[in-house]
């Protein structure tokens, strides 16, 4: 019997994240109730959980874009389990020694749904963390699950508040990762022309440009959110914790990140050390990797400082001379609570970057 869930109330840099989580000794298959409460100011939010898998199985072979595997049900084609309009991804969750462990690739839902067997049809996508699968994927344990999306999480709430709450659609804004693009991020705002129309999403930086691609929130990433003029939002879903590494490739420049596990992210222990390629310095310098915590107009920047032990510790930078001086007195960021996203300004891309489960 799984442990009873316990409520965690976390106050972090002006943001309130209400997480209903179970204790950490749950297995990755135990579903948990998850509640995220946001304010109406700009916040950076992440998800330390993921949606339950549709199914799991082991790969037997890969032929071109086709992945042959063994789902748990065989009485009907696997594609029939995929809901129209829903985006899905495939993640490698084992074995622990497999070279694809923690990597993800996108599913071609339409082609998979059209097949009469259980074969998965993969899709070339910037969201794939290791490109298109090949024969080296054989033997991998897969889980297939729905993507978290901006529209799926907040769309209904926004529609109701625009129609019945008198709030302008333009007061709701979202910035999210956009891998494969030069800026690396995409800012959108909703649009509702008539009450009977579906909610649309417009590019906030290009007037009149409608976004037709799904607004995905991959594991390990975060979303910058402003939820209307009057109040924030609460959303809940049944979710699961993960117990394997999570591939989260980094680009040069801005990265929107969140620790994908329901534990505090301990900087220098669970992440943010030399293992992830971060190098400390005695003094700040231009082009240094920086971690930023945003909450409304409150923006704080940290950089890795060399410690006598040989490790690094993330120290607050002087906001007026950010590339030259530390803030005084010395202030350090040692923990980031679950659900709080952050920005990482990276000097160099790192396609092999991973988040790992919390250390003991």
- At residue 306, the pLDDT reads 95
Q: Which two structure tokens, joined as six digits, stand for 146?
A: 């729905």
**HSE of 314 in the Cβ direction (CA atoms, 13 Å)?**
23
- At residue 235, the pLDDT reads 84
- Report whether 154 contacts 232 (CB < 8 A): no
Q: Burial of 346 by CB count in 10 Å (0-12 exposed, 13-18 middle, 19+ buried)?
A: buried
- At residue 233, the pLDDT reads 86
Residue 100 pLDDT more than 80? Answer: yes
- Number of H-type helices and E-type strands within the chain: 2, 27
Residue 29 banded pLDDT, cuts 50, 70, 90: low
**Quick one: average pLDDT of 38-56?**
93
- Report whether 217 contacts 224 (CB < 8 A): no
Residue 30 banded pLDDT, cuts 50, 70, 90: low
Encode pLDDT of 220-238 as tens digits: 999 999 999 888 888 887 8
> Domain spans of the chain?
55-146, 246-355
> Would the pTM of this model clear 0.85, i.e. be above it?
yes
């Amino acid at each position: 019997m799984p442990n009873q869930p316990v409520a965690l109330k976390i106050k972090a840099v002006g943001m309130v994240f209400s997480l209903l989580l179970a204790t950490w000794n749950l297995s990755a298959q135990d579903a948990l109730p998850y509640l995220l409460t946001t304010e109406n100011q700009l916040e950076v939010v992440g998800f330390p959980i993921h949606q339950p898998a549709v199914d799991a199985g082991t790969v037997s072979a890969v032929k071109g874009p086709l992945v042959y595997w063994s789902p748990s049900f065989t009485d009907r084609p696997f594609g029939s389990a995929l809901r129209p309009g829903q985006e899905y991804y495939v993640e490698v969750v084992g074995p622990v020694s497999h070279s694809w462990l923690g990597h993800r690739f996108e599913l071609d839902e339409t082609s998979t749904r059209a097949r009469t067997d259980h074969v998965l049809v993969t899709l070339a996508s910037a969201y794939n963390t290791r490109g298109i699968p090949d024969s080296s994927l054989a033997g991998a344990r897969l889980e297939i699950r729905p993507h978290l999306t901006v529209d799926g999480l907040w769309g209904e709430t926004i529609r109701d508040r625009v129609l019945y709450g008198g709030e302008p659609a333009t007061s709701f804004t979202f910035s999210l990762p956009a891998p494969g693009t030069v800026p690396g991020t995409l800012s959108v705002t909703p649009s509702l022309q008539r009450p009977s129309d579906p909610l649309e999403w417009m590019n906030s930086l290009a007037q009149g440009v409608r976004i037709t691609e799904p607004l995905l929130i991959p594991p390990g990433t975060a979303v910058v959110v402003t939820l209307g003029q009057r109040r924030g939002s609460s959303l809940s879903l049944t979710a699961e914790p993960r117990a394997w590494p999570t591939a989260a490739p980094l680009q040069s420049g801005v990265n929107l990140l969140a620790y994908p596990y329901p534990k505090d992210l301990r900087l220098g222990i669970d992440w943010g050390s030399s293992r992830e390629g971060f190098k400390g310095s005695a003094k700040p310098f231009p082009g240094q990797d920086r971690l930023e915590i945003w909450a409304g107009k409150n923006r704080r920047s940290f950089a890795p400082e060399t410690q006598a032990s040989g490790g690094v510790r993330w120290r607050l930078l002087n906001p007026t001379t950010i590339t030259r001086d530390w803030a005084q007195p010395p202030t350090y960021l040692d923990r980031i609570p679950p659900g709080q996203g952050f920005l990482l300004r990276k000097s160099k891309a790192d396609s092999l970057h991973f988040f790992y489960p919390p250390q003991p």
